[in-house]
Amino acid sequence: MNFPYQVYNILMPKTRTQYVCQQCGRTAARPMGRCPQCGAWNSMVEELIAPPATIRHSRSTAVRSTPQRLSEVSGDVEERLPLPINEFARVLGGGIVPGSIVLIGGDPGIGKSTLLLQVALEMSHQSPVLYVSGEESERQIKMRAVRLLRDANTGALPLPDNLFLVTETGLDAILEHITQVKPQLLIVDSIQTTTLPELESSAGSVSQVRECASRLRELAKSSGIAVFLIGHVTKEGTIAGPRVLEHIVDTVLYLEGDRFQSYRLLRSVKNRFGATSEVGVFEMGEHGMAEVANPSEAFLAERMVNAPGSAIAVTMEGTRPLLVEIQGLTSPTQFGNARRTPNGVDFNRLLLTTAVLTRRLGLRLGEQDIFVNVVGGLTVSEPAADLAIAAAIASSMRNTPLRADAVLIGEVGLSGELRMVGQMNARLKEAASLGFKTAIIPQRMRKNEPWQADIQVIEVRSLRQALDHALVEKV
């Protein structure tokens, strides 16, 4: 780590700002609700006008950089700080990369501050960590830390010495604290409360959020500090959400989950240092977020075997197969228009499977309200869950359960045919490891290789054949 480095290089000198339309590039001295050139609404964003001195300066720095041979570039490719929270490390691609900048987005109250305080507590055993909060006081954060560290058996655990807390929103002050603490990990909670005084616009506006994040990225790259930014996902409006930051940072993680359920999924949507769409599964409990090492088992824990309308799908979340229960319920419509209510599945996929069940299998779903629910607050967007969705609806409609020991995997086509989905071996293995005996899947074109899982595989061509195998009483 190159301490001491010049923090004030990162803070530009006081400058003027202008408002630039993000659609057409028209500039104005004052903010305007509507761009006079292209007519776009709320598109004017405050930007810094770089003074001539800065331009000269940047030219001289351009000369200072020198091309290096690939073989001579320092730094081991695999150099990462180990993170003892496995589910988190897996989403990052195996530990924290020094000098990387990671954005963690999510709805308010979902558990971002809690999870990152846990990361800070763990990492402070290795090296100094600075936790900057613009939302909570040091006292509040301490109370939370004590709660997280409290162990059921031993009472409160000792507090770490190397975790530094500060309540601060000004970026210049934050950068000054960094020169004092010299952390290896900086956590900024949240990027929406961080402000740069040069910009007139208020905290949380697009220009503030973007400018602060780029300064923190420069800090990360020049010093080797790993930076975690917390960002609230908000509806479109004056408060800028993590979307405007996605291209600035190296890694974007989203913490998802139903607020009324305890499971939380940490999902990577962009990662320069690992696979994307990897997930880590946590459960929010008394002492913060607990890792869920075997999520499939957890998601199936409350399942009622032999209940009509319950089907088991196997979805892939990144490289990890997950078994989820999909519930369907049909109920005669009361007021004319039949309703379709998906919870955790895509509305259009529900409409599609319903249409196929109606047209190809002759189920009279036109007069039925249909509810589909993914148990555990999960969201399943993969077409591989189509078959399970269709089976859950058909099972409820026929009032006959599906085979309790079977999983259903496959995409449903418009003609009622089943289509193969990717990574079938991984899905079958996961189902077998949880004790399922049968998998009903689409027929393969080439049958040269046997399936690599200890499970009976029934290959079928169509949704109708799949239901013939899956429903306990034949219809």
From the list ligand TYD, Mg ion, none, pick the one residue 72 interacts with, judged by a Cβ distance below 5 to 8 Å according to partner type: none
Q: Is 395 in the site for Mg ion (CB under 5 A)?
A: no
Binding partner at 383 among Mg ion, ligand TYD, none, C-beta below 5 to 8 Å by kind: none
Cα distances from 335 to residues 237, 293, 339, in angstroms, run: 36, 45, 10
Q: Give the integer Cα–Cα distance in Å for 135 and 189.
A: 7
Q: Is the peptide bond before 82 cis (omega within 30 degrees of 0)?
A: no
Of the candidates 318, 350, 457, 328, the one whose C-alpha atom is nearest the C-alpha of residue 401 is 328
* Residue 210 CB, nearest approach to ligand TYD (Å): 21
Stretch that binds ligand TYD, among 107-115, 245-253, 357-365, 457-465 (CB under 6 A): 107-115
Asked if 195 contacts 169 with a C-beta cutoff of 8 angstroms, the reply is: yes
* Using rule CB under 5 A, residue 113 touches Mg ion: yes
Interface pattern 50-79 for Mg ion (x via CB under 5 A): ------------------------------
User: Which long-range contacts (C-beta less than 8 Å, at least 24 apart) are formed by 274-278?
Assistant: 274/91, 274/92, 274/93, 274/94, 275/93, 275/318, 275/319, 276/318, 277/317, 277/318, 278/90, 278/91, 278/93, 278/317, 278/318, 278/319, 278/320
Binding at 144: pick from ligand TYD, Mg ion, none (beta carbon under 5-8 Å per type):
ligand TYD
Per rule CB under 6 A, is residue 108 in the interface with ligand TYD?
Answer: yes
147 interacts with ligand TYD by CB under 6 A = yes
Q: Which does 114 bind (CB under 5 to 8 A by kind): Mg ion, ligand TYD, none?
A: ligand TYD
Residue showing the smallest CB distance to Mg ion in the complex: 113
Asked if residue 146 binds ligand TYD (CB under 6 A), the reply is no
- Minimum Å gap between C-beta 204 and ligand TYD is 15
Identity of the residue, 186 or 387, whose beta carbon is nearer to ligand TYD in the bound complex: 186
CB 286 → ligand TYD: shortest distance, Å?
Answer: 6
- Which residue is associated with the tokens 């690939």? 70
Q: In what order do the strands lie in the sheet with 163-167?
A: 163-167, 129-133, 185-189, 226-232, 101-106, 251-256, 263-271, 279-285, 288-291
Q: What are 101's two structure tokens?
A: 């900048």
Strand spans (E) along 222-367: 226-232, 251-256, 263-271, 279-285, 288-291, 310-317, 320-332, 340-343
Q: Which of 346, 353, 303, 349 is nearest to 323 (CA)?
A: 303
109-138 binders of ligand TYD (CB under 6 A): 109-114
Contacts with Mg ion by CB under 5 A: the residue count is: 1
Closer residue to ligand TYD, CB minimum distance, 288 or 328: 288
> For 73-81, which contacts have Cβ atoms below 8 Å and span 24 or more sequence positions?
81/123, 81/126, 81/127, 81/184, 81/185, 81/226
Residue 230 Cβ vs ligand TYD, minimum distance, rounded to whole Å = 7
Question: Does residue number 205 form part of the binding site for Mg ion (CB under 5 A)?
Answer: no
| x-or-dash string of contact with ligand TYD, 282-311, rule CB under 6 A | --x-xxx-----------------------
Instruction: Confirm or reject binding of residue 330 to Mg ion (CB under 5 A).
Output: no
Q: Is 144 near ligand TYD (CB under 6 A)? A: yes
* Contact of residue 284 among ligand TYD, Mg ion, none (CB under 5-8 Å per partner type): ligand TYD
**Which of 159-167, 280-288, 374-382, 392-400 is the region at the interface with ligand TYD (rule: CB under 6 A)?**
280-288
SS (H, E, C) 12-76: CCCCCEEEEECCCCCEECCCCCECCCCCCECCEEEEECCCHHHHHHHHHHHHHCCCCCHHHCCCC
Residue 93, binding choice from ligand TYD, Mg ion, none, Cβ under 5 to 8 Å by partner class: none
- The yes or no reply on residue 215 touching ligand TYD (CB under 6 A) is no
Mark the segment that binds ligand TYD (CB under 6 A) among 279-287, 297-305, 367-375, 421-429.
279-287
Interacting residues toward Mg ion by CB under 5 A: 113
Interacting residues toward ligand TYD by CB under 6 A: 106, 108-114, 144, 147, 284, 286-288
